[in-house]
């Protein structure tokens, strides 16, 4: 195996690999990236057994075909420190040694044979579903903030993708919740038949967001019974889906919250950030005293002190006192596109519905805190 490739081209692919490869070294081969020279192209493959990443590079000079696996982290780190636009000369000297030469640098990287590298069947019988890259990325970003980190309820460790319909229009809807907050965002699509609802795992969501941020290629989604595939040009991401039933989330979405607060998104986020600075633990609650024309925000920490600030607002009811986890509230408010945040209350203890006036297809629910 021997080839020459441009540093920038390979580095871009290896950058995507870093989010996939296994960091815990349970199986050494899962920390490696598979480099495969075949059919006039270089294939880059990485997996952690739950996700598999594929990329292809055509702009490569192949001297001798072959394949090997080497540490994804080490190879990436070396390439980052080599000058941009450099040429990389790779030569597999033996089954366990890969030579890399560039400019005046010379490296010998340890390898593991490809026989032990896991393979996956790339078979998807379902219909291909083209998606708008930017809109799907927005859906993922708006919902991923509410993905649960509690592994005891694994069915909440991802985004629930399912089809919904409203006013004769068809949507692909994503929902995530950690039981303290819920995020929902929908993307209008053509009607799809035979699409089964699924839960997209947390790690896959974050990897997909990273790929979509970098790619300008058309995004296409394919599904099967227990896995999902996304393609962006020559890049493919295949993932297992979470085996479980997502919670009946619509039951917790408030329908009759008639006390409405309108407040500047920018002022609200900045104010929460300032008053929460007095607290060492950002998970401590921020208290809101909501009046007809202002909101008084305050944080009182037994360990570090207190802070308060008043900002302008519009409220259609009598004074309401309510508290929230400041981190959760800030993360939700940061995803609102409109200049104003619309918060709908019932009382000081019931779930609060947060709407984005500029995005009617997204909403959030947050539970108050008891302080």
d(CA 301, CA 307): 9
Q: What is the chain's alpha carbon radius of gyration, rounded to the nearest angstrom?
A: 25
Average pLDDT score over residue span 196-219: 95
If asked whether residues 19 and 61 sit together in one domain, one would say yes
Residue 84 maps to a domain: yes
Residue 69 maps to a domain: yes
| Confidence at residue 282, expressed as pLDDT on a 0 to 100 scale | 60
If asked whether residues 299 and 339 sit together in one domain, one would say yes
Question: 3-class secondary structure for 303-367?
Answer: CCEEEEEEEECEECCCCEEEEEEHHHHHHHHHHCCCCEEEEEECCCCCCEEEEECCCCCEEEEEC
Residue 207 maps to a domain: yes
What percent of the chain lies above the pLDDT cut of 90? Answer: 84
| Confidence at residue 124, expressed as pLDDT on a 0 to 100 scale | 77
Among 251, 273, 307, residue at a domain's last position:
251
Three-class SS state of 28: helix
d(CA 323, CA 288): 6
If asked whether residues 140 and 92 sit together in one domain, one would say no
If asked whether residues 232 and 330 sit together in one domain, one would say no
Average pLDDT score over residue span 163-170: 92
| Domain tally, the chain | 3
If asked whether residues 277 and 336 sit together in one domain, one would say yes
Given a cut of 70, is residue 21 above it in pLDDT? yes
Residue 185 maps to a domain: yes
If asked whether residues 108 and 150 sit together in one domain, one would say no
Residue 318 maps to a domain: yes
If asked whether residues 146 and 193 sit together in one domain, one would say yes
Q: Which helix (H) or strand (E) holds 29?
A: none
Model confidence, pTM: 0.93
**What range does the domain containing 91 cover?**
2-116
Residue 15 maps to a domain: yes
Segment 318-333, tens digit of pLDDT? 999 999 999 999 999 9
| Confidence at residue 15, expressed as pLDDT on a 0 to 100 scale | 95
d(CA 233, CA 316): 51
Residue 98 maps to a domain: yes
| Confidence at residue 303, expressed as pLDDT on a 0 to 100 scale | 80
When pLDDT is cut at 50, 70 and 90, the band that residue 283 belongs to is: low
Among 232, 251, 270, residue at a domain's last position:
251
Burial 246-276 (b: 16+ CB within 10 A, else e): bbeeeeeeeeebebebebbbebbbebbeebb
If asked whether residues 217 and 269 sit together in one domain, one would say no
Residue owning tokens 């989330």: 249
Segment 50-101, tens digit of pLDDT? 999 999 999 999 999 999 999 999 999 999 999 998 999 999 999 999 999 9
Residue 123 maps to a domain: no
What is the overall mean pLDDT for the chain? 93
């Amino acid at each position: 195996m021997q080839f020459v490739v441009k540093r920038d081209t390979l580095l871009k692919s290896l950058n995507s690999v870093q989010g996939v490869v296994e960091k815990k070294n349970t199986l050494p081969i899962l920390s490696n990236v598979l480099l495969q020279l075949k059919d006039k192209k270089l294939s880059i493959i990485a997996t952690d057994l739950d996700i598999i990443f594929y990329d292809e590079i055509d702009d490569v000079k192949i001297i001798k075909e072959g394949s090997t696996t080497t540490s994804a982290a080490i190879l990436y780190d070396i390439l980052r420190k080599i000058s941009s636009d450099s040429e990389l000369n790779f030569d597999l000297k033996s089954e366990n040694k890969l030579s890399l030469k560039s400019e005046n640098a010379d490296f010998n990287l340890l390898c593991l044979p490809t026989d032990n590298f896991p393979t996956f069947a790339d078979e998807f019988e379902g219909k291909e579903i083209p998606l708008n890259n930017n809109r799907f990325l927005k859906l993922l970003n708006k919902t991923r903030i509410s993905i649960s980190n509690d592994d005891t309820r694994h069915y909440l460790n991802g985004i629930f993708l399912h089809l919904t319909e409203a006013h004769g229009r068809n949507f692909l809807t994503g929902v995530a919740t950690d039981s303290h907050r819920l995020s929902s965002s929908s993307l209008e699509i053509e009607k799809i038949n035979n699409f089964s609802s699924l839960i997209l795992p947390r790690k896959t969501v974050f990897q997909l967001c990273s790929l979509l941020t970098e790619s300008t290629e058309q995004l296409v989604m394919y599904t099967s019974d227990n896995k999902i595939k996304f393609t962006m040009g020559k890049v493919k991401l295949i993932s297992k889906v979470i085996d479980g039933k997502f919670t009946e989330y619509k039951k917790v979405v408030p329908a009759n919250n008639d006390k409405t607060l309108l407040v500047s998104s920018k002022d609200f986020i900045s104010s929460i950030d300032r008053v929460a600075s007095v607290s060492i633990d950002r998970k401590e609650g921020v208290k809101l005293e909501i009046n007809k024309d202002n909101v008084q925000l305050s944080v009182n920490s037994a360990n570090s002190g207190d802070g308060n600030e008043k900002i302008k607002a519009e409220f259609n009811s009598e004074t309401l006192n309510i508290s929230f986890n400041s981190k959760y509230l800030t993360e939700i408010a940061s995803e609102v596109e409109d200049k104003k945040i619309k918060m709908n209350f019932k009382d000081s203890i019931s779930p609060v519905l947060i709407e984005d006036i500029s995005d009617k297809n997204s909403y959030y629910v947050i539970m108050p805190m008891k302080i």
